[in-house]
Structure 1
Amino acid sequence: MNEAINLKNYLLPGRIRKKDGYYHLIIDTIHPITKEKIRHSESTKLKVIEESKRKNLENENEAKYRLKLFREKWTKFYFSNSKKDGVENIYFTDYLENWLNSIKAGLQPSTMRGYSINVKRVIIPYFKPKNILLNELKARHIQEFYTYCLTEKKVNPNTVIRYHANICKCLQTALKQELVLSNQADLVDKPKKKVYVAKVLSISKLLTLLKSIESTHLELPTFFSTYYGLRRGEAAGLLWSNIDFKNKKIIIGNTLIEGEKRELINRKSLKTKSSYRTLELIPEVEKFLLEVKEKQEKNKKLFKSSYNYKYNDNICVKENGDLIKLDYITKKFKEITRKLGYDDVHFHCLRHSFATNMYDAGMDMKELQMWLGHSSISTTMDLYLHFLEKRIKESAKILENAMKKGETEIIETNDEKDKK
């Protein structure tokens, strides 16, 4: 490698960027040998405009000096002779940020947003003040982070497990690159996953809920999830082009997701192959859809040029054609159910309620699997089947009657023997 690049003279190209009133250091280039993308950024915390020209000049010169050090640090990281020298000045948080940027291209926007929130808002802010080098990170450091999240921040164990997944994947990449000797995250005790038990609403309560949100933005996604057990993104992402009024079919073939910058995106590829499914268009839903279509046509004439035609194929839109935001659905749904006296009920409970109510009404497991779009019937059975109290009592009654019948048969047999 050193024959191709003379480290004495070579430095990764970098630049200074003015952003939000501060100087930022930027390296955005291509590795001359491996052709991989190299992207790093760091805020200097130096203001572009100060109270005096002298201070402005000092900050500008200081930013230039720091850029030189920044370029030297990352040049050493990528082109050093020894593996030890290559990481001796690389902090774990710097590598974590670099890793996050490198995996962006291979992830769905919604997944990348989740990773970014975990890494940039939680993991990096915790580790950055500690100045732990990548090759000096130990399992105890990670364990202390999990303990801090669970005890001081009162974070849900399932969320901490997601943090663990991010750290583990990052260190696994470092291990493959021979930048660390082992994946220290593998030595950490993860918190036990908290088993989620969703609340189930009866059909009468679901209909009461729908009645209370008529003509609101929440009505559309709630209606579709109630009648078909759709996931939030599937309900909010239903398309007119996927409604076959002639053959009475409704295709679940699009989901609404949030990108890394919280922008709404129609994603035609669903969670799994089984998630893409064709269901029957029942009369109640058909009638509802036709009414929605009529309202939207009136709104287009009313708003004229100010109507948002970008999402013309989406069913769940506001009066002006804008998409209904996913966060709004989640927050507003919980607010409404709380007012109705339903404790700890959120939007995904509609899916659980659909599964339980339909099973109670006579649907078998295989049918439910198809309606819900599960790739495995075990998912349907393990996660979405909540027996109603009425069903359990009926089962107990069957058991009781069976045992009584057996006792009666014994008595009758004994009576016949006594007669003989």
Structure 2
Amino acid sequence: MQEKIDIKNYLLPGRLRKKDGYWHVRIDAANPLTKEKIRHSQSTKIRVEGKNKTETKENERRAGVILSDFRKKWSNYYFNEEKENNQEILFVDYLRDWLYSVKGEVEPYTFKNYRMIVEKKVVPYFEPQKLLLGELKARHIQEFYTYCLNEQKLNPNTVIRYHANIRKALQRPLKQELVSSNQADLVDKPKKKKFIAKVLSPSEIQKIFNEIKGTHLLWSSIDFDKEILEINNTVVEGEEGKVYNRLGTKTKSSHRFLPLIPEVKVFLKNLKEEQEKNKKYFKNSYNQEFLDNVCVKENGDIIKPDYVTQAFTKIARKLGFENFTFHGLRHSFATNLYLGGVDLNTLKELLGHSYLNTTAEVYTHLPREKVIEIGKEYISMIMKSIKKDEIKNKKITYINSNQPVSKILK
């Protein structure tokens, strides 16, 4: 049996580092008992450079004292089983350090969301309360959820995401037997609100497309000869705002091939020619990092994913489509194809869903009025495509657009 570490004789190794002009303390080591990676970091709020050499040296000494206390605090946390030592850590401090510890374990975009929830939502609420980790109870978390729902008027689904983060963070001290239970498991989380997508008809979507152009495809993923688009790349924006390409998609099902329809083919070819002209114009100033990306600025800089989604929402609102988001295009795409007669299995492949019931959810919750509206538009499109002489010769039966849509589509 491995001998218990004596806290008096063992301190986690730590160091000082300079960041943004301030001294930061950092622990980055392996737990000698469990071999688990231990990472903690925080600012001392002490400037690296003083007004003179004497002050600069004094600042470093003061930062060293904070580092010593920092090492003792976290050594107590990991290696002293007495509860009072665990209670010395504030809940918000623990959350910040947990956030840092998982940074290398998750995707940059996932970490960005974790960080937003912890730093912008959870910490500002709990920090004034000065709750210690050992003092945190389910009622404190429950009060936070109530505040979010009643005072902040947040969607229950948003609060559920907060709950998932808090619960995940509290699992670590539970596994290390530093707390007796995960208090988040004792909370009544909000009931998930069924998502009802706003769906637009083909003509409404066309109005938006007339205003906005762009994609995060790669040129190497487009086969103009075979007229196929391959979805095999993800554009990721990290926590510092750096954007980069990550080969591969979120799930195996997301990797898929789509037909390159004539209108899109013409648009992409014209865009390719325009980019080639921009390369010649900007010469050495043209950004060489994103040469394979379709969606770039005139100087070759990548267009950030967040900018695309935000700009899209603004344009949709300007055209009179309130609360219609970029993601709403997927729902509209699936709904319009389904009402046009495309079967669920085909839709599943086009959308990149892993499960058929996920695809079904896209349209089964549509308001009846919207289904009728889109259905009538499809009927109108079909009728316009039929030659007038065929109608005159009664080679087809004219459909009354006032019939129930379910009967028409059959």
The counterpart of 2:263, out of the listed 284, 294, 301, is 284
Distance 2:2 2:64 in 1: 27
Distance 2:57 2:67 in 1: 15
Deviations, residues 117-166 of structure 1 (Å, cap 9, x unaligned):
11122212322332222222100010111122222233332221111001
Report the AA paired with residue 158 of structure 1: N
Once the two structures are superposed, the pairs formed by residues 160-309 of structure 1 within 5 Å of their partners are 160-211=159-210, 213=211, 218-221=212-215, 236=216, 238-309=217-288
Distance 2:329 2:121 in 1: 31
Residue 397 of structure 1 and its aligned partner are, at CA, apart by 7.0
Distance 2:64 2:16 in 1: 8
Partner in structure 2 of residue 396 of structure 1:
404
User: Could you tell which deviates more after superposition, 346-355 or 123-132?
Assistant: 123-132
Partner in structure 1 of residue 71 of structure 2:
71
Partner in structure 1 of residue 92 of structure 2:
93
CA contact (8 A) 2:86 2:178 kept: yes
Aligned pair count? Answer: 380
Does residue 1:110 correspond to 2:104, yes or no? no
Residue 332 of structure 1 and its aligned partner are, at CA, apart by 1.4
Summarize the Cα distance change of 1:6–1:198 in structure 2 as closer, same or farther, 3 Å threshold.
closer
Summarize the Cα distance change of 1:200–1:295 in structure 2 as closer, same or farther, 3 Å threshold.
same
Does residue 1:13 correspond to 2:13, yes or no? yes
Partner in structure 2 of residue 35 of structure 1:
35
Gaps of 5+ in 1: 222-235, 401-420
Residue 399 of structure 1 and its aligned partner are, at CA, apart by 6.6
CA contact (8 A) 1:87 1:135 kept: yes
Summarize the Cα distance change of 1:201–1:30 in structure 2 as closer, same or farther, 3 Å threshold.
same
- Structure 1 or 2: larger helix share? 1
Q: What RMSD over aligned residues (CA atoms) do the two structures have, in Å?
A: 2.8
Identity across the alignment (%): 54
Distance 2:201 2:186 in 1: 45
Partner in structure 2 of residue 152 of structure 1:
151
Distance 2:14 2:164 in 1: 32
Deviations, residues 54-91 of structure 1 (Å, cap 9, x unaligned):
987776554433332222111222222x3535523222
Distance 1:83 1:259 in 2: 39
Report the AA paired with residue 65 of structure 1: V
Greater Cα radius of gyration, structure 1 or 2:
1
CA contact (8 A) 1:258 1:265 kept: yes
Partner in structure 2 of residue 415 of structure 1:
none
Summarize the Cα distance change of 1:257–1:23 in structure 2 as closer, same or farther, 3 Å threshold.
closer
Report the AA paired with residue 68 of structure 1: S
Does residue 1:337 correspond to 2:316, yes or no? yes
Normalised by the length of structure 1, the TM-score is 0.81
CA contact (8 A) 1:16 1:25 kept: yes
Deviations, residues 230-284 of structure 1 (Å, cap 9, x unaligned):
xxxxxx2x11111122222211111212222222222222122111111222222
Does residue 1:352 correspond to 2:331, yes or no? yes
Distance 1:72 1:83 in 2: 14
Distance 1:332 1:3 in 2: 60
Distance 1:347 1:53 in 2: 55
CA contact (8 A) 2:46 2:63 kept: yes
CA contact (8 A) 2:372 2:405 kept: no
Does residue 1:139 correspond to 2:133, yes or no? no
Gaps of 5+ in 2: 377-400
User: Could you tell which deviates more after superposition, 238-247 or 51-60?
Assistant: 51-60
Residue 173 of structure 1 and its aligned partner are, at CA, apart by 2.1
Partner in structure 2 of residue 122 of structure 1:
121
Summarize the Cα distance change of 1:15–1:398 in structure 2 as closer, same or farther, 3 Å threshold.
closer
Distance 1:397 1:284 in 2: 29
Distance 2:36 2:158 in 1: 32
Summarize the Cα distance change of 1:264–1:395 in structure 2 as closer, same or farther, 3 Å threshold.
farther
SS in 1 for 2:253: helix
User: Could you tell which deviates more after superposition, 163-172 or 267-276?
Assistant: 267-276
Normalised by the length of structure 2, the TM-score is 0.83
Summarize the Cα distance change of 1:378–1:313 in structure 2 as closer, same or farther, 3 Å threshold.
same
